[in-house]
Structure 1
């Protein structure tokens, strides 16, 4: 894309010598707990953000102290798969360097919060020594590749996990900056290395890839820049349906920004998926907006130029003619809980982890509990995009040992939980996220019991309803795909959005703007009463709201597109 004026960040990337900048010098500056703003932007490419504790920001200002700076570190773990040995290392990192325990993100990886500057390098090295990395977990690159976690389809999971790993490896930046800064690698004294996929300024914005296995859309495949839907028949992976242009971010008051569902454009066999993925990424590299970051995601590139144009350019660039979309069906969006037997005879235990917070508090010992499981577990752990955890590949003889630990440490809460609690997601928000306008993670435990009480009054407490909380409109918790969603505007005030569907194939719409908790609860009470009285058999809440015209049918749907293209 030809731009006359690059944004400030584009210039920082161009001048960074492939993500080096002056990060190392900033880390060695003992006078401050921070690094420069320019280097913080580059640090994201290395998998870390500089933050400060906003709860005490004003008090420190009054005391003429700098903010309480610390860093969030995010791992790159394709498909969210972790070995027990890795888990124990990551748990130790949380106890040694982080300000609180482990946190599972909405892209099925770990974040460690509260790491102070002098501990950044030891933490990165510890992650590396566990055969993992943080590079490209953030920044204007392809980030964590997510993959469906369906415990009943174990053989299919392995097929798809292999491709998630291949995609992740293919899009790792080639710069040696990470090794130089964090792993004491030999410094390059000549011209920095080439980035054959990303170029000198990487991508215009972040890029996300996800792989789903029908019938479960547990990764929100249509929220991805590049969504791949695995088509498996008789245990054979035939290939992938390709969806492009999904994205959740928006800005309050700016109608030129919006969430968007990915558009299905065709099908490719497995041997062509890497080439198609690279074609999508490099088209975005070359044509994405580098002057206005709020319009730099792939969804805007597609909408600006047209979907037919993008598909034509993709086929021309790759030399691949996309085949018609293959038939598939999604029946749910959430996770499975409790024991499930896989098609290979191994067992998988799904555990609910509220907002992904794996630490010991309020009488529960969740972090300790999983640590003890990791000490005896012979399989693997799988994190989900709904912030939950699967203890995977358990032999029948080992189930009782794990059950005892689950009960002992309070990990068995999923047995008594409401339908809406089991399908809730919340972003981190305050106090660490610099973008947060309202509470999210800390508000969910306060709000959920009040919503559950309303549902119970109407006989709906066991109904599965997708609830998403977000402290701002940027969409880390994918709020625009919630049947009920709260998007923060200010402390204690939210937009109430309604009407997405249970399978993640329809966006919701704003129902009430900038309202407080009392208005949220009174509005939901009225809607729950109507739903209880007038719903059709098996009708989900979001579908009821659309059918009964409580909300208008959202303009962007996927079902007609799918039906028109099915072969």
Structure 2
């Protein structure tokens, strides 16, 4: 039997030689180039930024035009008006004048040139936030229900999300060296090379995790963060009005590579009940087991879901218990059973109101018809709400006094922004990833294509009497699944240039995977394909059956027949 050591992926080598994520980033920042070298490209992700190029201009005489996407980590999506305004300033001063609210309750700035990268990241830190671990092979932004309520439960889960984010953040000083001190000071600081990994990174070690890791916290009555799509999901368990702990789920993840049968989307599996006081230590144990046993040879199968598929949840739980140092209890019967997107007016319970504002695909820009940024600037300047970002790329404006409710609506209408009550149900429950032109993985259009498709769907849905039915439509420009398309009622996934795979049969609740209905559907035929599904649903659904439930019940072959019969 061969005793040769496994051949690790090249990224593992970059991490191993990086001096705890420092690499040559400080030197590259001083170099007179508009981009970074291959090794530092991987390390930059840990610092919260991706190098990108404008794919619309690749064939121009000047060749590739490089810039950077910067992502701010915002646990539970909670930030102040001042922090929100700071990001609007940065997108205008250094970016492409647009700001993106993400599917993980974070903020992305696009189009930042290399010369402004350090200043932009430093300014984000100056407003009390950070980009560290917003990307990379570490735990990323921790999600939780963002709703502001006077009850203690919401406060507790949001506090737990913050505690997890802080506990699982990288400890290396490289982030500070690269972005938050001047070059001379940074060079004089300890580089950490001679310290043992357990001293520098007690949780991650020298080479961090095999792949990215995501955590989300949900309430049984409100799975607005898609808990089953997380590597580690926490479902709150409440007894007599008190939060006593969480049911832990493990192994969720959306990304897949169609050409590699070994890859697949997965929903998390229920592992164990964890008392509130043990959450940080058990979460750490889950991360460490993945660190030590996740696949470091092939990044395509390096996520936790593949370790769970290989081991089974029982073996994985035993390894977590060993690392934690004590047995865990079985999950309680508590599970998700509701979903609130928090749009429109909602009573906080403290005498004030929140207003969920639907932001289509999360993109904030100013145009002739709608001035999103100017609108938010006026709202933040005059009403100073706390802002909570949702997992559907929208924003909740909190702490609105009853007397100020008309003022808020007046500001929205002044800037041409549709109030959430005027947004069609199908548009309200849709979302898309960034896609072209900036994402290097995108095969097809996504964010720029979905609004037009929704335009085409609104009239047929109204004619069918389905315009009030809630179902999720999620589009991604590639199979990586950043907009979580594989558990949606309808998923549209870029498969080839101008063509999509159409998935159906997921659930609004997010606890069921969908299946492929049609493959390689040209962009111009996507809406007619969906209308045929809606028509079959209208004609053959059972009483109170949702779109996803209908498609899951009848299956692909029968759905094809019903679509034909309904034509």
TM-score range normalised by the length of the shorter chain: over 0.9
Using a 3 Å threshold, how does the CA distance of structure 1 residues 330 and 411 change in structure 2: closer, same or farther?
A: farther
2:86 corresponds to: 89
* Equivalent residues of 1:74, 1:110 under 8 A apart: yes
Structure 2 Cα separation of the partners of residues 70 and 118 of structure 1: 9
Specify whether residues 322 and 101 from structure 1 end up closer, same or farther in structure 2 by C-alpha distance, changes over 3 A only. Answer: same
Deviation at 1:476, TM superposition (A): 0.4
Q: TM-score, normalised by structure 1?
A: 0.93
- Listed one character per residue, the Cα deviations across residues 9-29 of structure 1 (whole Å, up to 9, x for unaligned) are 100100000001111111111
1:372-383 to 2 correspondences below 5 Å: 372-383=378-389
Asked if the contact 2:19/2:191 (under 8 Å) is kept, the reply is no
2:302 counterpart of 1:296: yes
1:467 to 470, 473, 480: 473
Instruction: Give matches, 1:138-177, under 5 Å.
Output: 138-151=135-148, 155-177=152-174
SS in 2 for 1:386: coil
Offset of residue 552 of structure 1: 8.4
Judge conservation of contact 2:409–2:419 (CA < 8 Å) in 1: no
5+ residue gaps, structure 2: 560-567
Question: Are 1:17 and 2:23 an aligned pair?
Answer: no
Deviations 1:33-76 (CA, angstroms, capped at 9, x unpaired): 111111111000000000000000011xxx2x341100000001
Q: Give the match's secondary structure for 2:491.
A: strand
- Cα gap change, 1:72 to 1:106, in 2 (>3 Å): same
Cα distance in 2 for residues equivalent to 1:451 and 1:20:
49
Name 2:41's counterpart in structure 1: 40
Distance in 1 (alpha carbons) for counterparts of 2:58 and 2:36: 17
Deviation at 1:327, TM superposition (A): 3.0
The answer to whether the 8 A contact 1:18-1:192 is kept is: no
Does 1:391 pair with 2:397?
yes
SS in structure 1 at match of 2:527: helix
C-alpha distance in 2, partners of 1:385/1:40? 27
Aligned-partner Cα distance in 1 for 2:264–2:320:
24
Residue 409 of structure 1 and its aligned partner are, at CA, apart by: 1.9
Match of 2:415 in 1: 409
Distance 2:223 2:305 in 1: 20
- The match for 2:370 among 364, 370, 373 is 364
Aligned twin of 1:443: 449
- Is the aligned partner of 1:178 residue 2:175? yes
Q: CA deviation at 1:547?
A: 2.2
Q: Which residue of 1 aligns with 2:106?
A: 109
Q: Is the 8 A contact 1:152 1:340 kept in 2?
A: no
Distance 1:151-1:132 versus aligned 2 partners, 3 A rule: closer
**1:549 positional shift:** 3.5
Q: Which residue of 2 aligns with 1:563?
A: none
Structure 2 CA distance for partners of 1:331 and 1:416, relative to 1, 3 Å: farther
Q: Matched residue pairs, number? A: 547
Q: Deviation string for 1:247-295 (max 9, x for gaps)? A: 0000022111000000001211110111110000000000010010001
Structure 2 residue matching 1:330: 3-state secondary structure: coil
Match of 2:532 among 526, 535, 547: 526
Deviation at 1:206, TM superposition (A): 0.3
Cα deviation code 1:153-178 (max 9, x no counterpart): 75422111100000000011111011
Consecutive unaligned residues of structure 1, counting only runs of 5 or more, are: 554-567
Cross-structure match for 1:400: 406
Shift of 1:315: 1.0
Deviation at 1:334, TM superposition (A): 5.1
Distance apart, 1:136 and its partner CA: 0.6
Residue equivalent to 2:57: 56
Contact 1:334 1:386 in 2 (8 A): no
Distance 1:227 1:190, change over 3 A: closer
